[in-house]
């Protein structure tokens, strides 16, 4: 079957069975390997991408259900040679990254979360992160990054110190 | 000893790079999704491999026919035990083959592997392999395995090669003892004891669960294998793959892309030998990646163990003599580090407290279960859990305050640990005082209505892996510096920040101008791997020595160019200048160019291995290591609440004092402590890689194997203590392992305090806590 997707603003067409997980399509067909697959059962969140305005586990999403809305992966969050998204920037500056295998999923979950929750507290961030496992950091610096990114997003770039 | 916030006495004066919390330079690629991990690699013509694994944990192979599978569309190679008969093992007992040959010893053991054009074709080929197994009774329980009538898992055990003999027999893969004191002293101590307390503790397996599973891509060309793999220890993969394939190590080249976590689970060859065999047979590059189910069921976890402690104490709770009988599970073969670590429980029992007399025995036991392996802190977390829970039991039995009991027994400067080894400048008292300042022991805070509140404090001595390593440093044409090493960045920042900061500091250049090569065993000499907190310490020492020599070469060249004395020169950023006269300078790029056609390119190699400390050699029997290196002092304290209706444990406060020697990058240290405490919380409260009575791993996904989430990790109040180690780079000691070691102990002791009874099993699941509460009421 042919499926027409919009991924990171580009039209893409793939010929795969409709039940193929979106994560496999992204990684193996569209060569977007920033999206990681760590458990394949929707528990770890490494494969999180944005579908429309929602964060979804792309390892559980059949490609046939991904046609209606645009898909954004970590590669589409900021231009490859452009400035980082505030969440990406804060993950670097707050030391929210260690091995990095969870990082793309964390970035996608947090950037989607902050779109609807501009001024969260730490508890809300932790709730939002329960679907994303990290084995390295103990999460504290990732929570710091989310709060830092939220503050930066509320402050226009030119007004930042 | 100084707290980090105060001016510190430096082992070596620092001028710039060391001590700064620089962000890691690999973070940007990781947040963009641009970092390339082994699971992301693809090569032209690459085949996809899959492994047929045994469904039973003990069986005889009565039929194995791969001919139908080999003929299926897209299938390029099928390999079995007939293709790889050689024996190997992690450093000690050589009892492992790549595939099961004639006998299956654990569920999940590889039987055959296939390589095909697509993953679907590989799966179809597995299904077409004809395998018949005749079941045997699995040996699973540790006590049953060492019973005289137990079925031998390796009937030919005596024929396996081992470095020394006399310390193994039958199902006992290794038997290590530490004995201190004569029989007369021992009898006298127990006769004089005010009290003798006994306990038995049981701990489950804990899985490392790196988010990137084991993965590799192998190629074969004219007699040599090239393997890209996700490993902590490329030279181990090289030598073990070679031994398993029966070839010389230099025939295997190992390269390491970005590594998505290790935690001890990626120190050994695992998938690489199978991928190599398939690559050779097919003539194509072959990719092999563990599914999460394979990862949990077959990639060696921290071993389960049974610990029996008996301690004689005086009326004040001073330890007079202590006996320990420890059984640790090797699993079906010695492919992990469990045997080499057989001596560790004795050292962990006797490195924090004064143990005048000891009878410690550790037996590493074969069972029909997946082999076990290293996990951060190796045996430390369960040995310290048992020792601390046992000491709390002693304190309760005597009516002695639990913190006071520790102060009476803890080792002071000048005292020796149980093996007779003098500790490196212990500051256990200062560490206890540090947590006391922030979490006063006598502070009584009321429990939430309906909840039970408990607290605990635990001091700890821990180690740094002493292993060898070399690193080369060269000055590039643009004045930057390249470090070439097989030491591997696994996410800790030890290479990306620690080694770079040490080299920058030694040379006087900007950290940004120090680049580090990716590990390639054809390009860099031996390095002992990212284990035992050794990378900043060991690889840092080697790279620092090389940088010191390169500095001399640079100054010699610049002295000719500037017509100045070498002793008047300094490197400042990207120039060499006459000290105090910045106008007289040459750029490092110019130095590089000038050297090129006079002395030749500027480069140097450094090396390091820790020298073993003195100890009482008479007390250690069969230990494969007898001392611990570059020790550091720590204390953890916690307060918990237990819900007596549900058994749920909530960690309210968690306070850490950690002696790091010297903080090369404080932010990275905070990251290691946060991550290690989180893994310790998982070990204490949630993680239990269950083995069924048939020897099969029951938890094969991250739904039932539950690691901590963002909601489970308590706030961590850390004070970094700087107590420089003279032999560490700028005084640094190992940082990454120690903070996991006391976590289960302090949480179990706090829960025991809350419910009034010693907890003897991990994890402290709601069911376990409710069971302990019920037992106490009876």
DSSP-derived secondary structure for A12-71 = EEEES-TTSBHHHIIIIIS--TTS--SSSSSSS-TTEEEETTEEEETTTSBGGGSSSS-E
- Interface residue B28 vs chain A (CB under 8 A): yes
pLDDT at B6: 36
In the sheet that holds B581-587, the strands lie side by side as B569-572, B575-578, B581-587
- Cβ contact B702–A84 (<8 Å): no
The residues near B367 (Cβ < 8 Å, ≥ 6 apart) are B139, B140, B141, B142, B145, B153, B171, B329, B330, B331, B332, B695
Of residues A97, A101, A137, nearest to B37 (C-beta): A101
Specify whether A35 is located in the same domain as A52. yes
Q: Which of residues 31-50 of A touch B (CB under 8 A)?
A: 32-41, 43-44, 46
- Cβ contact B703–A41 (<8 Å): yes
The residues near B684 (Cβ < 8 Å, ≥ 6 apart) are B385, B743, B744, B747, B748, B762, B763, B764
Specify whether A6 is located in the same domain as A67. yes
Specify whether A62 is located in the same domain as A90. no
Domain boundary among A20, A49, A77: A77
What CATH class has B305-465+614-777? Answer: alpha beta
- Cβ contact B707–A127 (<8 Å): no
| CATH fit for domain B2-35+467-608, picks 3.40.1390.10, 3.30.365.10, 3.20.20.105, 3.40.640.10 | 3.30.365.10
CA pair distance B706, A121, nearest whole angstrom: 26
Band the pLDDT of A137: cuts 50, 70, 90. very high
Specify whether A155 is located in the same domain as A98. yes
Contact B718, B670 (CB under 8 A): yes
Query: How many distinct structural domains can be found in chain A?
Result: 2
Domain boundary among A77, A95, A115: A77
Band the pLDDT of B424: cuts 50, 70, 90. confident
Band the pLDDT of B625: cuts 50, 70, 90. confident
CA pair distance B632, B423, nearest whole angstrom: 9
The residues near A6 (Cβ < 8 Å, ≥ 6 apart) are A12, A70, A71
Hey, how many other C-beta atoms are within 10 angstroms of the C-beta on B409?
Answer: 19
Contacts with B209 from chain A: Cβ below 8 Å: 135
Region for B48 from its dihedrals, namely left if φ exceeds 0, alpha if ψ lies in -120 to 50, beta otherwise: beta
pLDDT at B439: 97
CA pair distance B593, B475, nearest whole angstrom: 10
Contact B64, B111 (CB under 8 A): yes
Specify whether A7 is located in the same domain as A54. yes
- Cβ contact A135–B261 (<8 Å): yes
- Cβ contact B28–A92 (<8 Å): yes
CA pair distance B371, B217, nearest whole angstrom: 23
**pLDDT, average across residues B18-35:** 97
**pLDDT, average across residues A131-154:** 97
Contacts with A125 from chain B: Cβ below 8 Å: 710
- Interface residue A72 vs chain B (CB under 8 A): no
CA pair distance B324, B384, nearest whole angstrom: 12
pLDDT at B11: 37
Specify whether A109 is located in the same domain as A142. yes
Pairing mode of beta strands B172-180, B358-366:
antiparallel
**pLDDT, average across residues B160-169:** 92
Residues of chain B with CATH 3.30.365.10: 2-35+467-608, 305-465+614-777
Of residues A34, A44, A129, nearest to B702 (C-beta): A44
> For chain B, what percent of residues have pLDDT higher than 70?
98
The H or E element that residue B241 is part of is helix B234-245
Specify whether A72 is located in the same domain as A91. no
Task: Return the residue of A nearest to B736 by Cα.
Answer: A136
- Cβ contact B709–A130 (<8 Å): yes
Task: Return the residue of A nearest to B376 by Cα.
Answer: A136
The two tokens of residue B198 are 């006994």
- A152 class by beta-carbon count within 10 Å (0-12 exposed, 13-18 middle, 19+ buried): middle
- Interface residue A97 vs chain B (CB under 8 A): yes
- Cβ contact B710–A125 (<8 Å): yes
- Interface residue B231 vs chain A (CB under 8 A): no
CA distance A36 to chain B (A): 8
Contacts with A127 from chain B: Cβ below 8 Å: 711
CA pair distance A144, A129, nearest whole angstrom: 12
> For chain B, what percent of residues have pLDDT higher than 90?
95
Band the pLDDT of B7: cuts 50, 70, 90. very low
Contacts with B34 from chain A: Cβ below 8 Å: 34, 75, 80
pLDDT at A154: 85
| A149: containing domain | 86-159
Contact B376, B334 (CB under 8 A): no
pLDDT at B597: 93
Task: Return the residue of A nearest to B490 by Cα.
Answer: A99
Hey, how many other C-beta atoms are within 10 angstroms of the C-beta on B200?
Answer: 14
Task: Return the residue of A nearest to B29 by Cα.
Answer: A100
Contact B717, B655 (CB under 8 A): yes
**ipTM > 0.85 (yes/no):** yes
The two tokens of residue B64 are 């194995």
Q: Which of residues 126-145 of A touch B (CB under 8 A)?
A: 126-127, 129-130, 132-143
Whats the size of chain B, residue-wise? 778
The residues near B51 (Cβ < 8 Å, ≥ 6 apart) are B110, B112, B113, B126, B271, B274, B288, B294
Which residue do the tokens 């000891």 mark? B358
The two tokens of residue B678 are 């989180």
- Per-residue pLDDT for A140 more than 70? yes
pLDDT at A156: 64
**pLDDT, average across residues A120-135:** 98
Specify whether A100 is located in the same domain as A135. yes
Give residue-wise pLDDT tens across range A43-74. Answer: 999 999 999 999 999 999 999 999 999 999 99
CA pair distance B750, B563, nearest whole angstrom: 68
Of residues A88, A95, A143, nearest to B667 (C-beta): A95
**pLDDT, average across residues B331-353:** 97
CA distance B209 to chain A (A): 7
pLDDT at A160: 56
Domain boundary among A25, A48, A77: A77
- Cβ contact B702–A36 (<8 Å): no
DSSP letter string over B21-77? -PPPTTHHHHHHT---BGGG---TT-EEEEEEE-SSSSEEEEEEE-HHHHTSTTEEE
Contact B621, B608 (CB under 8 A): no
**pLDDT, average across residues B56-73:** 98
In Å, the largest CA–CA distance within chain A is: 52
Contact B410, B461 (CB under 8 A): no
Of residues B21, B30, B670, nearest to A97 (C-beta): B30
- Interface residue A79 vs chain B (CB under 8 A): no
Give residue-wise pLDDT tens across range B438-494. Answer: 999 999 889 999 999 999 999 999 999 999 999 999 999 999 999 999 999 999 999
The residues near B739 (Cβ < 8 Å, ≥ 6 apart) are B634, B636, B656, B658, B672, B673, B676, B677, B680
- Cβ contact A141–B260 (<8 Å): no
DSSP letter string over A125-146? HHHHTTTS--SSS-SHHHHHHH
Please name which of A19, A23, A81, A15 lies closest in space to residue A51, comparing C-alpha atoms: A23
Q: Which of residues 667-726 of B touch A (CB under 8 A)?
A: 667-668, 670-671, 674-679, 701-703, 707-711, 713, 715-716
Contact B324, B305 (CB under 8 A): no
Please name which of B701, B34, B291 lies closest in space to residue A104, comparing C-alpha atoms: B34
- Interface residue A10 vs chain B (CB under 8 A): no
The two tokens of residue B138 are 């699995």
**pLDDT, average across residues B173-178:** 97
Domain B38-136+214-289 carries which CATH code?
3.90.1170.50
Task: Read off the DSSP letter of residue B497.
Answer: I
Please name which of B500, B605, B598 lies closest in space to residue B549, comparing C-alpha atoms: B605
- Of residues B677 and A160, the one with the higher pLDDT is B677
Specify whether A64 is located in the same domain as A93. no
Specify whether A69 is located in the same domain as A103. no
CB environment B338-365: b (16+ within 10 A), e (fewer): bbbbbbbbbbbbbbbbbbebbbbbbbbb
Please name which of B342, B340, B329, B341 lies closest in space to residue B372, comparing C-alpha atoms: B329
pLDDT at A161: 53
The two tokens of residue A32 are 């977007």
Q: What is the domain-level CATH number for residue A71? A: 3.10.20.30
Residues of chain B with CATH 3.90.1170.50: 38-136+214-289
> For chain A, what percent of residues have pLDDT higher than 90?
94
CA pair distance A76, B85, nearest whole angstrom: 49
Contact B504, B537 (CB under 8 A): no
Hey, how many other C-beta atoms are within 10 angstroms of the C-beta on B711?
Answer: 11
- Cβ contact A98–B291 (<8 Å): no
Where do the H-state alpha helices sit in B283-401? 292-298, 344-349, 380-398
Give residue-wise pLDDT tens across range A93-103. Answer: 999 999 999 99
> B320 vs A89, B323, B408, B423, CA distance in Å?
57, 11, 12, 20
- Cβ contact B292–A36 (<8 Å): no
CA pair distance B559, B566, nearest whole angstrom: 5
Band the pLDDT of A155: cuts 50, 70, 90. confident
């Amino acid at each position: 079957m042919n499926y027409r997707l919009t991924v990171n603003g580009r039209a893409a067409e793939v010929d795969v069975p409709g039940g193929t997980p979106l994560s496999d399509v992204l990684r193996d067909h569209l060569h977007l390997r920033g999206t990681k697959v760590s458990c394949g059962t929707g528990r770890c969140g490494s494969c999180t991408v944005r579908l429309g305005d929602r964060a979804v586990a792309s390892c559980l999403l059949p490609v046939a259900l991904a046609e209606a809305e645009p898909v954004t992966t970590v590669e589409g969050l900021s231009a490859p040679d452009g400035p980082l998204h505030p969440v990406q920037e804060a993950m670097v500056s707050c030391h929210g990254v260690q091995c990095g295998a969870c990082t793309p999923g964390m970035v996608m979950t947090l950037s989607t979360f902050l779109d609807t929750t501009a001024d969260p507290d730490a508890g809300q961030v932790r709730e939002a992160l329960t679907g994303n496992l990290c084995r390295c950091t103990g999460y504290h610096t990732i929570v710091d990054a989310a709060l830092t990114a939220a503050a930066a997003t509320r402050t226009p770039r030119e007004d930042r110190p | 000893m100084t707290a980090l916030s105060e001016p510190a006495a430096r082992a070596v004066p620092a001028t710039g790079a060391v001590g700064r919390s620089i962000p890691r330079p690999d973070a940007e690629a990781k947040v963009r999704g641009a970092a390339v991990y082994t699971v992301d690699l693809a090569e032209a013509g690459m085949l996809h491999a899959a492994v047929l694994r045994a469904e039973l944990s003990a069986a005889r192979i009565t039929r194995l026919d791969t001919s139908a599978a080999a003929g299926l569309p897209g299938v390029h190679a099928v390999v079995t035990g007939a293709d790889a008969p050689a024996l190997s093992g992690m450093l000690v007992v050589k009892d492992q083959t790549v595939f099961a040959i004639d006998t299956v010893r654990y569920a999940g053991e590889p039987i055959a592997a296939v390589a095909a054009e697509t993953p679907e074709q590989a799966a179809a080929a597995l299904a077409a392999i004809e395998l018949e197994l005749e079941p045997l009774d699995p040996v699973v329980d540790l006590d049953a395995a060492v019973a005289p009538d137990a079925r031998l898992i390796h009937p030919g055990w005596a024929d396996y090669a081992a470095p020394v003999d006399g310390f193994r027999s039958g199902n006992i893969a290794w038997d290590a003892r530490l004995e201190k004191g004569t029989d007369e002293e021992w009898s006298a101590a127990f006769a004089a004891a005010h009290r003798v307390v006994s306990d038995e503790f049981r701990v489950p397996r804990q899985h490392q669960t790196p988010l990137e599973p084991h993965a590799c891509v192998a190629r074969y060309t004219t007699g040599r294998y090239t393997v890209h793999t996700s490993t902590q220890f490329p030279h181990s993969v090289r030598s073990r793959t070679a031994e398993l394939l029966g070839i010389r190590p230099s025939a295997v080249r190992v390269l390491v892309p970005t590594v998505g976590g290790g935690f001890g689970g990626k120190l050994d060859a695992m998938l690489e030998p199978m991928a190599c065999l398939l690559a050779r047979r097919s003539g194509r590059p072959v990719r092999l990646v563990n599914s999460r189910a394979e990862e949990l069921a077959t990639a060696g976890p921290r071993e389960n163990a049974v610990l029996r402690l008996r301690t004689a104490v005086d009326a004040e709770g001073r330890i007079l003599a202590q006996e320990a009988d420890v059984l640790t599970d090797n699993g079906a073969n010695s492919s992990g580090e469990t045997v080499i670590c057989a001596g560790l429980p004795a050292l962990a029992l006797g490195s924090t407290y004064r143990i005048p007399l000891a009878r410690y025995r550790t037996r590493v036991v074969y069972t029909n279960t997946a082999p076990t392996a290293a996990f951060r802190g190796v045996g430390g977390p369960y040995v310290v859990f048992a020792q601390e829970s046992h000491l709390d039991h002693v304190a309760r039995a005597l009516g002695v305050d639990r913190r006071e009991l520790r102060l009476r027994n803890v080792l002071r400067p000048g005292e020796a640990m149980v093996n007779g080894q003098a500790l490196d400048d212990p500051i256990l008292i200062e560490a206890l005082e540090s947590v006391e300042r922030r979490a006063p022991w006598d502070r009584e805070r009321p429990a939430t209505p309906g909840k039970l509140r408990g607290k605990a404090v635990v001091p700890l001595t821990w180690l740094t892996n002493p292993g060898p390593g070399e690193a080369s440093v060269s000055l590039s044409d643009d004045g930057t510096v390249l470090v070439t090493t097989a030491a591997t960045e696994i996410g800790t920042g030890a290479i990306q920040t620690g080694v770079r900061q040490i080299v920058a500091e030694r040379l006087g250049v900007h950290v940004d101008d120090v680049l580090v090569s990716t590990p390639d065993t054809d390009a860099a000499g031996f390095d002992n791997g990212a284990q035992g907190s050794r990378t900043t310490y060991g690889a840092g020492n080697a790279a620092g020595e090389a940088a010191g020599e390169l500095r001399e070469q640079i100054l010699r060249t610049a002295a000719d160019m500037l017509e100045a004395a070498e002793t008047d020169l300094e490197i400042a950023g990207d120039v060499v200048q006459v000290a105090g006269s910045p106008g007289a300078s040459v750029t490092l790029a110019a130095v590089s160019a000038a050297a090129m056609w006079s002395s030749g390119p500027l480069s140097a190699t450094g090396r390091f291995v820790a020298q073993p400390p003195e100890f009482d050699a008479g007390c250690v029997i069969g230990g494969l290591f007898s001392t611990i290196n570059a020790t550091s002092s720590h204390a953890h304290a916690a307060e918990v609440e237990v819900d007596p209706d549900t058994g749920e444990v909530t960690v309210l406060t968690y306070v850490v004092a950690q002696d790091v020697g010297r903080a090369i990058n404080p932010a990275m240290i905070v990251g290691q402590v946060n991550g290690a405490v989180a893994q310790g919380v998982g070990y204490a409260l949630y993680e239990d890689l269950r083995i069924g009575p048939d020897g099969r791993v029951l938890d094969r996904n991250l739904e039932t194997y539950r690691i901590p989430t963002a909601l489970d990790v308590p706030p961590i109040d850390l004070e970094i203590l700087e107590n420089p180690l003279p032999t560490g780079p700028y005084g640094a000691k190992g940082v990454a392992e120690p903070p996991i070691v006391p976590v289960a102990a302090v949480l179990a002791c706090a829960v025991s305090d809350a419910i009034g009874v010693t907890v003897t099993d991990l994890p402290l699941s709601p069911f376990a806590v409710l069971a302990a509460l019920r037992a106490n009421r009876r």
